Structure 1
Amino acid sequence: MAFKRIFGLVMDSVGAGAAPDSGKYGDQGADTLGHVGQFYEGNLQLPNLARLGLSNLHGTPIMGVPVNPDPHAYYGKMQEISAGKDSMDGHWEMMGLPVTKALSTFPNGFPQDLLDKLEAFSGRKIIGNRPESGTKIIAELGEQQMRTGDLIVYTSGDSVIQIAAHEDVIPLAELYKICDYARSLVNGPEYLVGRIIARPYVGPDAQHFTRTANRRDFTLEPTGETDLDRLQSAGVHVVGVGKINDIFSGHGIDEGYHNESNMDGMDHVDHVMAEDFEGFCFINLVDFDAMYGHRRNPQGFGQALMDFDRRLGTVLANLRDDDLLLITADHGNDPTYTGSDHTRELVPLLAYSPSFKQGGSLGIRSPFADFGATVLDNFNVTGNGRGHSFLADLN
């Protein structure tokens, strides 16, 4: 059947076990969902996700999340083919644009020529310049930044340049202008960087610094047409919730909402669900990743999952018979793993509509583009052949 509305919800970084090529990325044995369940020793309560079939897709049941003998949803996993494991790679691939060339990373910090240009443009000195956890480097250098007005510049294992500044010292408009300039420096051919991230923070001292919701991602412009562009060109209404607008640089999106948090994002989902439209709503909930995965905080990660599961109950209750809900992730970020970077994992795939008579297995889908191909298929929009629709498997 064709659905009037499709809601594609990305639980940012909620991986479902090491991908077959995880060794290439040094991520052998990573398992975000499985290890969070183990950390909670059976007390991870996700009743709505369990009913849909979350443990059914995982292979080994997640502690606290029982396998459902009669799952309400179709369930499976997706395997990425893109050269990286960043949010941009995952989302672009979902929308039919796999990233086939590895983006630039900076394991030893940024080259001096880039730093010189940033300092000349901003009129500010750069401090930091190394791969580091954002909360750690802000705690270490934040007070210096407040005294001097310097810019804290750092990276991670991903293709990112992150620029942090106290909101009372460098106004948001100035920080965004600096990040926009940095974006112009790394669009190739010498350096090709996925994201420039503005990381504003507040607080009186190192013991009280907190990063704010005024983060902004300056993402590499899509290098080709995506399924969002195809939908929009065909007259299908496209809504982006969370950092979707940033990831696609606004392309292919008719209506957008910025999230302050996961719960704020779910408020936006509730709002969009109350609208009468025909089209696709693409949602990213980033707290799992930004607040808990990178910070290697399994307790917070599990609590965020349980908070999401509670709000998911409202979404399930409000779905119409001609709605389809697709739940997935863009990569892993195992909060029990070493380091602080994303982990190369398979990601969950759950497909549910109140009209389904039963659920069942979708197996392992690859590439992620199967997700977008299914959305296109539903709205009779031609894709580029990178993915294979599973719409016919849903009944």
Structure 2
Amino acid sequence: MINRVIWIVLDSVGMGALPDAHKYGDENSNTIGNISKTIGGLNLPNMEKLGLGNIDGMVGIKKEESPLGCYGRLSEISNGKDTTTGHWEMVGINSKDPFPTYPKGFPKEIIEEFEKVTGRKVIGNKTASGTAIIEEMGEEHINTGNLIVYTSADSVFQIAAHEEVIPLEELYRYCEITRNILKGEHAVGRVIARPFTGEPGNFTRTSNRRDFSLVPPYNTVLDNLKKHNFDVIAVGKIEDIFSGKGITEAVHTKDNMDGVDKTLEFMKRDNKGLIFTNLVDFDMKWGHRNDVEGYAKGLYDFDKKLNEIIDSMKDTDVLFITADHGCDPTTPGTDHSREYVPFLAYGKSLKGNINLGTRKTFADIGQTISEIFSLEPIKIGESFLQKIIANH
């Protein structure tokens, strides 16, 4: 019997280019494999015990003779390689039309409307690294109060502001206003608040980032869980990704380890349903900044904490670990990469050493959760519950 699923998304921890990766310029991407190759090998003993190295196509990770968990890799059927697209697909949404991107900055009419409703001028309005643009324009922002607006290869409208110039609640309000502006053909996946502190030459982005996503277009497994009075507990930016839809309780986090600690706190409580956690540092701090060593250390740190997660599991818990896309820090660019993502499952209710092969869609996870809790099926995906459930 399964009463609770602990579902952890290692944001951007991909494991090799998808067959259509060349369409995205990502044919050489392999986040895990290339990190391992670059640093001379990754040693992740706890994930290895569950079967990480046994996944079809996995390179750079040691295989176990008899893994304790179930393992496989997931393909993405949606058109995109961003956070929203990946997470939405996991719970049952096939995003056939990619979210709009703005490699040359946002059109004049969008910026003019933004300036009109916020009452502040815009500086930037270009594709940029978040750390680079605040170094470039932070001092001007402090002196003028103008807002730093920028984007990336993803479908995002990002607003950077110093916390002592623009109070957090005001920045969040600007993002909500912007979310209402960006509709129709300009309906970007996320509007992101990017607060920072510090002095010129020494600016630092804070953990008070907030994502203002589009509302999912229809109900997902999260909505179905909530409708049937199960808990849907969101840890990290999960609440933002789904714009609160289908969530019963949420907490934001400072970093990966805070995300793990918050997950552990919820695991100690008497809840039933889903604890859904996103660990964003892999993507935000290391993938986008091409920090191979930092990314590797982040994987080591999570792997060490995995023992604590497993030790805290009840007999009626199952653990799912996966990712939402890639972000290979070894490639020249700093964008997300179109990759397969790994999947691991473990629990007293599950079999060990089950190879799930290559799944057709991320939504197989959501469909499996639907079957676990006897919910109505979601629109896409195939459940693998019968392949992994132990016969007691």
Classify the TM-score, shorter chain: over 0.9
1:26-41 residue pairs with structure 2 within 5 A? 26-41=25-40
- 2:97 maps to 101
Query: How many pairs are equivalent?
Result: 389
Q: Aligned pair 1:293/2:287, yes or no?
A: yes
**Percent of aligned pairs sharing the same letter:** 48
Partners of 1:384 and 1:66 in 2: CA distance: 35
Partners of 2:118 and 2:209 in 1: CA distance: 19
- 2:219 maps to 225
Deviation at 1:146, TM superposition (A): 1.1
Partners of 1:178 and 1:385 in 2: CA distance: 34
- 2:64 maps to 68
191, 200, 209: which one aligns with 1:196 = 191
Partners of 1:249 and 1:61 in 2: CA distance: 36
1:273-288 residue pairs with structure 2 within 5 A? 273-288=267-282
169, 172, 182: which one aligns with 1:173 = 169
Partners of 1:385 and 1:251 in 2: CA distance: 17
1:120-269 residue pairs with structure 2 within 5 A? 120-188=116-184, 190-206=185-201, 208-269=202-263
Partners of 1:131 and 1:326 in 2: CA distance: 35
Partners of 1:386 and 1:275 in 2: CA distance: 32
Partners of 2:51 and 2:121 in 1: CA distance: 52
Deviation at 1:102, TM superposition (A): 1.4
1:271-350 residue pairs with structure 2 within 5 A? 271-350=265-344
Q: Aligned pair 1:117/2:113, yes or no?
A: yes
1:303-323 per-position Cα deviation (integer Å, ceiling 9, x unaligned): 111111111110011112221
373, 389, 392: which one aligns with 2:386 = 392
Q: Does the residue aligned with 2:199 lie in a helix, a strand or coil?
A: coil
For the structure 1 residues 101 and 151, does the alpha-carbon distance in structure 2 shift closer, same or farther, using more than 3 Å as the test?
same
The amino acid across from 1:310 in the alignment is K
Work out whether residues 61 and 67 of structure 1, in 8 Å CA contact, stay in contact via their aligned partners in 2.
Answer: no
Deviation at 1:357, TM superposition (A): 4.9
Partners of 1:205 and 1:113 in 2: CA distance: 31
Work out whether residues 4 and 274 of structure 2, in 8 Å CA contact, stay in contact via their aligned partners in 1.
Answer: yes
Deviation at 1:60, TM superposition (A): 4.3
Runs of 4 or more above 6 Å deviation: none
Deviation at 1:187, TM superposition (A): 2.1
For the structure 1 residues 159 and 56, does the alpha-carbon distance in structure 2 shift closer, same or farther, using more than 3 Å as the test?
same
Deviation at 1:368, TM superposition (A): 0.9
1:271-302 per-position Cα deviation (integer Å, ceiling 9, x unaligned): 01101222111110000000011111111111
- 1:51 maps to 49
Partners of 1:263 and 1:168 in 2: CA distance: 27
Structure 1 unmatched ranges of 5 or more: none
The amino acid across from 1:195 in the alignment is R
Q: Does the residue aligned with 2:55 lie in a helix, a strand or coil?
A: helix
Work out whether residues 332 and 345 of structure 1, in 8 Å CA contact, stay in contact via their aligned partners in 2.
Answer: yes
1:95-148 per-position Cα deviation (integer Å, ceiling 9, x unaligned): 001211111110111100011111112222111111111111111111111111
Deviation at 1:236, TM superposition (A): 1.6
For normalisation by structure 2, the TM-score amounts to 0.97
Partners of 1:280 and 1:193 in 2: CA distance: 28
Work out whether residues 57 and 75 of structure 1, in 8 Å CA contact, stay in contact via their aligned partners in 2.
Answer: yes
Alignment RMSD: 1.1
- 2:80 maps to 84
Partners of 2:290 and 2:211 in 1: CA distance: 22
Partners of 1:161 and 1:356 in 2: CA distance: 42
Partners of 2:102 and 2:373 in 1: CA distance: 41
For normalisation by structure 1, the TM-score amounts to 0.96
1:78-101 per-position Cα deviation (integer Å, ceiling 9, x unaligned): 000111111100111000012111
Task: Tell me which moved more, 282-291 or 51-60.
Answer: 51-60
The amino acid across from 2:7 in the alignment is G
Work out whether residues 69 and 351 of structure 2, in 8 Å CA contact, stay in contact via their aligned partners in 1.
Answer: no
1:148-173 per-position Cα deviation (integer Å, ceiling 9, x unaligned): 11111100111100000111111111
The amino acid across from 2:263 in the alignment is V
Work out whether residues 128 and 151 of structure 2, in 8 Å CA contact, stay in contact via their aligned partners in 1.
Answer: yes
The amino acid across from 2:224 in the alignment is R
- 1:23 maps to 22
Work out whether residues 114 and 181 of structure 2, in 8 Å CA contact, stay in contact via their aligned partners in 1.
Answer: no
Partners of 1:150 and 1:374 in 2: CA distance: 48
1:27-49 per-position Cα deviation (integer Å, ceiling 9, x unaligned): 1110000011112212x331101
1:177-206 per-position Cα deviation (integer Å, ceiling 9, x unaligned): 111111001121x31210000000001122
Structure 2 unmatched ranges of 5 or more: none
